Amino acid sequence: MNTFEALLLALLVLMVAVGGRQGVSNFLAVMINFLLMMLAVILMAGGFNPIGVAAVLGLVVLATTIFLSTRDSDVAQTAFVAALLVMLGMLLVIGIGVRYAHVAGFGTEDSEALEGYNLLIGVSFPHILIATALFSTLGAIAEAAVAVAAGMKTLGAAAAPAGLTQMAAEIIGTALNTLFFGFFGGFAGLFLWFTQLRYPFWQVLNNQIFARELIEVLFSMIAVTLTVPFTMWIVQRRQGGRS
């Protein structure tokens, strides 16, 4: 058993110990999403439009993540509708952002690793960046949508506006911190490399690799911030329609 298999088994055991049957469903969702990401890479490499692949498989990823994360059908349906609306909106935002950011492709730091390879692979690098940026937002969107929908159902229709505002602020704050520290932890090695080579601050901010990853994190932060009020609005409309 290698390290990957051991960690995967440990994750399954912990999820079952903590969540029981729901933990198994969550683990199954992770495995399905992993296979969907592999399918996305195969389809993009096969010549399918990356944006179309991301939009279609993104819908499946949201459905898998949300409906396997909760056994409450009302919470799942509300969260899915909100997540789908946010995903469509983020597709437009990401498309505009990538167009004007000019960070698609490889940076100069990648030149040594790519030496000898042909980059004329017949796929648009900006389209790939749009697809990967959209995929990177889906987890945050689904998590925030489920958290808000479940929280509002627990509070009920009589929840005070101040309580809803506090709940929304706490969900957004927690999600943003998670995204930020995930970005920082993933790029700690790159930051140390910049420091050792004495990159000036302006050059770090304009570095293609750093800018691309930072922009993707900002897309995820925007997605979370949009998901919370959208989900609250949908829950309130559903509650109003039943009363």
Computed over its alpha carbons, how large is the radius of gyration of the chain? 20
pLDDT higher for 140 or 159?
140
- Record the pTM: 0.82
Domain ranges of the chain: 72-242
Please report which residue ranges of the chain form alpha helices under DSSP H. Answer: 3-19, 21-45, 50-67, 73-101, 111-114, 125-155, 161-186, 188-196, 201-205, 208-242
Residue 117: pLDDT band with limits 50, 70, 90: low
Per the CB < 8 A criterion, the answer to whether 64 and 29 are in contact is: yes
Q: What is the pLDDT of residues 192-225, one digit of tens each?
A: 777 777 877 777 777 777 778 888 888 999 999 9
Per the CB < 8 A criterion, the answer to whether 61 and 33 are in contact is: yes
Q: What is the pLDDT of residues 21-65, one digit of tens each?
A: 888 888 899 899 999 999 999 998 888 899 999 999 999 999 999
